[in-house]
Copies of this chain bind each other. A is one copy, B any other.
């Protein structure tokens, strides 16, 4: 049992980066290995189930991140509403590199990833929507209105990430962030 060359934490982070940028089919084991500094065989040692195993681990990690940094913050009983929103948007902003990085859910919801991971991805996105819905209700919106805003939030996020990526210009992202703030400040 040699020492690990790279920690689970760092490993997942690097694998995550490839899947978000390339999707499931586009992420090649060779590249995953090269980018993590491990040889292919070592990657298979860490993830015996191969590529499916890897992508699922990445997705599970992303869910945990969401639970902590989105749901946990938006529903935190210790923070006032403004702070909850501010911290959440800051976390989201960081997650997506200020609009310069793609969304894992989007990248994995094409091609082979869809049927392999569709259910988990759907659950994850639903989690985001629910958290924003709860937030909306916490500031006095009725359920319908809160759900509508929550859906608008995730739509703006996804859309601006796609547009920013294609246009190689994150101004769409910046606009979306401003709009999301406004959604809850009026």
Q: Name A residues whose Cβ lies closer than 8 Å to a Cβ of B.
A: 21-27, 102-103, 105-107, 109-112, 114, 118, 121-122, 125-126, 148, 151-152, 154-160, 162-163, 165-168, 171-172, 175-176, 179
Contacts and interface: CB of A to CB of B under 8 A. Distances in A.
Contacts of A176: 155
B151 A175 contact: yes
A154 to B, nearest CB: 6
A155 B172 contact: yes
A160 B105 CA distance: 14
A111 B162 contact: no
A112 to B, nearest CB: 6
Given A125-B166, A175-B148, A175-B152, A110 B112 contact: no
Contact of A26 (B23, B105, B155, B160): B23
11 contacts: A23-B23, A23-B25, A25-B25, A25-B26, A26-B111, A103-B162, A105-B162, A106-B166, A122-B168, A156-B159, A159-B159
Contacts of A171: 151
A33 B175 CA distance: 42
B106 A162 contact: yes
Contact of A151 (B106, B122, B157, B163): B163
